[in-house]
Chains A and B, each alone.
Chain A
């Protein structure tokens, strides 16, 4: 986190740092200093978990149900998986300013590479490598024609390409290879992973201490543990990457591409590296995403990309912990909206499936409002998101 103030060494910022050393003004348009920001993140996180945990354990009736749903969603391996994909998207958009609207496509390639390989009898390591390789090639194909052009072109091509991938995955002709529209059931590829478990069968119920979460995932705690461990590893990686000279170049490209070019740097190559690295995070997220569930091409469509974007902007782009926080809060809030509107609004006005759709409508509106009124999200720095691509 401490890198953020160094990123734009404007005289303005330096001045603020001098005059306001140690004094934090909440109305300061420059936003809180990085240490403070880390503290805010940690406080929000801890407060959120304490409240939800208590509500899940002690709140009666529907409120308790909603809290348990939120808690279940917050610790779920799929949330962790999406968080990793968002960490990748953060490299694209937050640090480099690339408008990748096809992160779900990267996730799907990772997931397909992993599940198809294992389904067809290859070892798990090969599966992981295949997923990564597919995402790598995808990034190359998308990057070569578009990274020299205006940002919109990358957006248009990535969103289309991700959809095309989904069409290909759904092709009935490929049913024996990719499982077509019905996908691949989790039991066909999960075993090599769950066999590594040192949590036994992973169905620990919390020893009566945790609220009754009705966790139904397969080998839940093992998948959950690995997923969140990987989230931590990815955060650390990003932290190190963006502190490196290479990371400073990324920000430089985001702020002023021509300036970096005039320094003799190969902007195209650096953008391509960013696209590939972010895409690899996406692929890893995709593999984790299908582990507790099944490989469904339709689950990784355009909507998933947009959830990633909303969560990223909610947590705060161009921050290390923003993606994780965004993912957890995003999914929990969705459950909260859905559960509450289902409980409060009578069925004649809004039935159960309409409540789910209402939650998605709120997601779209949230995305709009975030960009307009708080582009830096919860943790971000407003100065870092003034760029235009």
Chain B
């Protein structure tokens, strides 16, 4: 049932392979490659001049995604240099980071080269407090996106007791469909968002109808059901890879102009995505607290048997929860691929899932408002970690460290009820 929208992605996004990409791997041919990237985004049409042993002298040009590469056939030291004349206006290299020397010791291993390239707005002497404020802004942005997805994850856990490992794949699905609808079909971004959310909601509905409700009826244990979600996540992930291969999915709209307030640089998209997130989250919160169906949902969360005895149709509530959760995850996904710079890949779900779990557990498994608080904290921690010295990818590790520390002192999470969990 999930195949239909995905087949559509395939129709739109044919796995495009860059014509001149080289691959390391054969014994005769090595590869030096990189991506020309500033702090704002990738830069196409920049020349890179590579010199090396045996009079090696070649120039590569970055493609639409900023990628460039050269083939090498000899071992030794190579120097790659950005041809600064080909950089766009207002973009320059920082210090001596426009020239990098790499040592090829083994042809089967490709070498990646990173240059320091910045726009003119970027000054190397940003004060620490400015960097903190900037990171807090992007942390808040990420936190809100995570919150959209994690509220759903938490509601599913609350009403069914299931940790849904495939939830992040729903987020990825939103991003992929958004790319298809907005970028490939050229649908207006607002209508596109609406369409994607609708499709994602229907996948949630069909999933509960086709998989989860029958399994609940069969009385399959929660541990077993969790393994089923893992299988689903695996299948979905490779299905995405089947259709988009190694491509990055990023919805690109015509050149949003950057604004700045104080040290914070942002564009209209950032603000729009944050506003949409806040409105939707408030809406869900209001529904949970004030409406009949919201109260029913919370009742099922508290005690399904009692809720059922007092006349609530538990299956209907759970189906609604699956539908809304999938819709929220889809919205989170499309916003993610709109505003997050590095876009989405077929396996992005993995990274997102770790953050979601950290957020949900931090807030208290099963509490929707805990998920919101947890997501904001995780978003801030992840973005602030590099400012305080965590190298590169390890910013995601910082979220986990917090999670483990919290589990030691307060296993029920920040907003969870203190009851025996084990």
**Mask of B220-262 contacts with A, CB within 8 angstroms, 1/0:** 1111111110111111111101100100000000000000000
Q: Contacts A150-B421, A152-B365; is A360 near B238 (CB within 8 Å)?
A: yes
Q: Which residues of B contact A354 (CB under 8 A)?
A: 242
Q: Which residues of B contact A168 (CB under 8 A)?
A: 394, 397
A340 within 8 A of B: no
Q: Which residues of A contact B392 (CB under 8 A)?
A: 171-173
Interface size class of A (residues with CB under 8 A): 35 or more
Of residues 117 through 159 on chain A, the ones whose CB sits less than 8 Å from some CB of chain B are 141, 144-153, 155-157, 159
CB distance from A295 to the nearest CB of B (A): 12
Q: Which of B223, B233, B242, B393 contacts A99 (CB 8 A)?
A: B223
Q: Which residues of B contact A185 (CB under 8 A)?
A: 106, 109
Q: Which residues of B contact A153 (CB under 8 A)?
A: 361, 407, 411, 421
B234/A156 in contact, CB under 8 A: no
B391 within 8 A of A: yes
Q: Contacts A161-B400, A302-B350, A372-B215; is A364 near B232 (CB within 8 Å)?
A: yes
A309/B408 in contact, CB under 8 A: no
Q: How far is the CA of A386 from the CA of B106 in the complex (A)?
A: 52
Q: How far is the CA of A146 from the CA of B350 in the complex (A)?
A: 21
B62 within 8 A of A: no
Q: Which residues of A contact B215 (CB under 8 A)?
A: 372
B394/A167 in contact, CB under 8 A: yes
Q: How far is the CA of A149 from the CA of B410 in the complex (A)?
A: 11
Write the chain B residue with the least CB distance to A363: B234
A375/B234 in contact, CB under 8 A: no
Q: Contacts A171-B391, A358-B242; is A306 near B234 (CB within 8 Å)?
A: yes
Q: How far is the CA of A364 from the CA of B236 in the complex (A)?
A: 8
Q: How far is the CA of A164 from the CA of B276 in the complex (A)?
A: 31
CB distance from A331 to the nearest CB of B (A): 16
A163 within 8 A of B: yes
A27 within 8 A of B: no
> How many residues does chain B have at the interface if contact means C-beta atoms less than 8 Å apart?
51
Q: Which residues of B contact A306 (CB under 8 A)?
A: 230-231, 234
Q: Contacts A149-B421, A185-B106; is A371 near B224 (CB within 8 Å)?
A: yes
B403/A152 in contact, CB under 8 A: no
Q: Contacts A153-B361, A160-B358, A372-B215; is A353 near B227 (CB within 8 Å)?
A: no
Q: Which of B350, B396, B411 contacts A148 (CB 8 A)?
A: B411
Q: Which residues of A contact B396 (CB under 8 A)?
A: 163-164, 167
B422 within 8 A of A: yes
Q: Which residues of B contact A302 (CB under 8 A)?
A: 350
Q: How far is the CA of A288 from the CA of B148 in the complex (A)?
A: 43
Q: Contacts A164-B400, A302-B350, A361-B235; is A156 near B357 (CB within 8 Å)?
A: yes
Of residues 113 through 165 on chain B, the ones whose CB sits less than 8 Å from some CB of chain A are 163, 165
Write the chain A residue with the least CB distance to B235: A364
Write the chain B residue with the least CB distance to A310: B231
Write the chain A residue with the least CB distance to B354: A160
Q: How far is the CA of A266 from the CA of B110 in the complex (A)?
A: 52
Write the chain B residue with the least CB distance to A152: B163
Q: How far is the CA of A368 from the CA of B393 in the complex (A)?
A: 32
A371/B231 in contact, CB under 8 A: yes
Q: How far is the CA of A301 from the CA of B403 in the complex (A)?
A: 21
B394/A365 in contact, CB under 8 A: no
Q: Which of B228, B230, B236 contacts A101 (CB 8 A)?
A: B230
Q: Which residues of B contact A160 (CB under 8 A)?
A: 354, 357-358, 400, 403
Q: Which residues of B contact A310 (CB under 8 A)?
A: 231
Taking Cβ atoms with an 8 Å cutoff, the residues of B that contact A are 106, 109-110, 163, 165, 215, 218, 220-228, 230-239, 241-242, 245, 350-351, 353-354, 357-358, 361, 365, 391-394, 396-397, 400, 403-404, 407-408, 411, 421-422
New A-B pairs, 9, CB < 8 Å, besides A145-B411, A150-B422, A159-B165: A145-B404, A148-B422, A152-B163, A155-B163, A155-B226, A161-B404, A364-B235, A387-B223, A389-B223
3 smallest beta-carbon distances between A and B, as pairs: A364-B235, A367-B231, A364-B234
